[in-house]
Structure 1
């Protein structure tokens, strides 16, 4: 599936500053972006590059110090609870640590049922059960075995799959995935990526990966944004950025991945 030309989320001169005076830290510095409907984007950079801070601003979890984020061509409004709820119906996230994303005192059934509540669907108990069962089946989990358990009773891999089951239920237009496979083994990593790509195909969902993994970014992405010290230093199609990198930082990132370096002979 190719991304549509419609720009779903855009950022103009987005800046985030923490602290004041001598302690001031500009985590994101005058960043611009256009994310299209159905597009898979990877924001790539090392730890401290500003990529997670940028993701939190896109998600609406952090307020930008300056600049403007537009959604569907209009300046985003997140002042009221109603505004935020409407925005989060469309935009969801999967984070690196799945255990921090769930209320550990709520059982799996409630965690999934809350997704149905967020959509405002009026369903019978049986219909809710079927929807939750379908979502678990999509991620190769058995709802009957999990619904009465708490998150801390599940493995890291099960938790990551449960997060994707939530996305299956919510049908967001945009998914922010911050290092979503860093805590699972290689086999689970491939499975989770395949599940996310399948959701994109079925729902024409925009996926924004936040990652330091150049190989993953190349494998899944239509478009790459390379971040260094809070700035976007290079952007373009995955092929153009990684096969013909222009910025020294991008060249360094690729040289640190031997297989990519050797395969493309980037010298």
Structure 2
């Protein structure tokens, strides 16, 4: 059976030669819903990955496939089916709204466009149910303008909008980075509940390793457009194998009255585009790290790291990234 959506050795290079993503393969099956976090610093390729999965941009190399068909070639009914089954929740909820319309507009439009209800009353019922599923009271939300709601409310409306279409995958690109800390847990718990109760796959794009650990089952760590480490979130966070992941975890602030200082090894430098992407920052860089890029080495059934320190493990087969995500 074809995957719901699949990346096959996908790469993306923008004008000017900037490599935003390179050789990523990932398959999401409809009958195996997953909650996957994609983490990394700014510029690592997270949002590019999201935009490729959503069909907003086309890959430079490789293909993105929806139910076995090249996404770039979809048209008509197949394109509409894709748009219904793969939904997005973006970083800034305010940009999605037209300030001249009440928030009802972003909910009634998909109901009408995709003919989700036979009558206006039925459509209203669907909208109210979707709002309640993300912890909002319809009587407090409907009829109001975007500026009359908080950022957390606007973002949860966008989750409800995605839910209206009964998607199989929600790509959430930094969905809580622009809301108050007190609301982050509410929004993320809504996504987690949708995954568990409605069996919707969630791809959670974030720079925040702490929230990724709290809500995701599996994790992909990106660095400079490539996968540095991937696997079950418990293994990757509690026993990271790639030096970059180790530094990420080490940078998470802990509540403590003591201060600790880490002395980094001087950067080795990375010539041109050769070698490991992390070599110029890695405290464990070796000479051959500068001349050859490491494969993803599978150190356990649910854990892989792109680091020569793990070269005693077998290299992960091409296109097998999904196998270590559980």
Which TM-score bucket, shorter chain as reference? 0.7 to 0.9
For structure 1, the residue ranges without an aligned partner over 5 or more in a row are 261-266
**Equivalent residue in structure 2 for 1:12, among 8, 20, 39:** 8
The separation in 2 between residues aligned to 1:49 and 1:201, in whole angstroms, is 29
Does residue 32 (structure 1) correspond to residue 25 (structure 2)? The answer is: yes
**Equivalent residue in structure 1 for 2:90, among 86, 95, 105:** 95
For structure 2, the residue ranges without an aligned partner over 5 or more in a row are 256-261, 263-326
Q: What residue number does 1:254 align with?
A: 249
Contact kept in structure 1, 2:8 and 2:24, CA below 8 Å: yes
Q: Superposition pairs for residues 166-181 of structure 1, below 5 Å? A: 166-181=161-176
The separation in 2 between residues aligned to 1:102 and 1:11, in whole angstroms, is 30
State which structure, 1 or 2, has the greater radius of gyration over its C-alpha atoms. 2
Q: What residue number does 1:80 align with?
A: 75
Which has the bigger relative contact order, CA under 8 A and spacing at least 6?
1
Counting helix residues as a fraction of each chain, which structure ranks higher?
1
| Offset, 1:82 | 4.5
Moved more, 171-180 or 79-88: 79-88
The separation in 1 between residues aligned to 2:28 and 2:233, in whole angstroms, is 14
Does residue 182 (structure 1) correspond to residue 181 (structure 2)? The answer is: no
TM-score by length of 2: 0.72
Please, what is the CA RMSD of the aligned residues?
2.2
Q: Superposition pairs for residues 1-267 of structure 1, below 5 Å? A: 7-19=3-15, 23-36=16-29, 37-80=32-75, 82-259=77-254
Equivalent residue of 2:41, what SS?
Answer: coil
Equivalent residue of 1:105, what SS?
Answer: coil
| Offset, 1:240 | 1.7
| Offset, 1:151 | 1.9
